[in-house]
Amino acid sequence: MRTTPSATANARQRPTRKTRPEPTPQPGDSAAAEASPSRLELIRMTAFALYEARGCEDGHELDDWLRAEAEVDAKSAPPVAH
């Protein structure tokens, strides 16, 4: 059996390097809070409620999202001691 140049080249290829897995976000990490699906879902629902309250008028998506973020974060923030 004769070996083709492509078969020889394939046999010489270096194995792929394994990469390390991404670290798992821990509770209390800012990245974990940012990526929390429950937070994002609350923001989405709040932004949609703002859109509906305005009569489903388009063009205010960013304003609705930013206001929803502020409202959700204010509700989940610990109370400030006076």
35 contacts 23 by C-beta, under 8 angstroms: no
Is position 71 within any domain?
yes
Indicate the pTM of the whole model: 0.52
Burial 27-62 (b: 16+ CB within 10 A, else e): eeeeeeeeeeeebeebbeebbeebbeeeeeeeeeee
Is position 49 within any domain?
yes
Range of the domain at 57: 38-77
Is position 73 within any domain?
yes
Spans of the chain below 50 pLDDT? none
Supply 79's token pair: 């109370």
> How many domains in the chain?
1
pLDDT in the model for residue 47: 97
Is position 57 within any domain?
yes
Is position 26 within any domain?
no
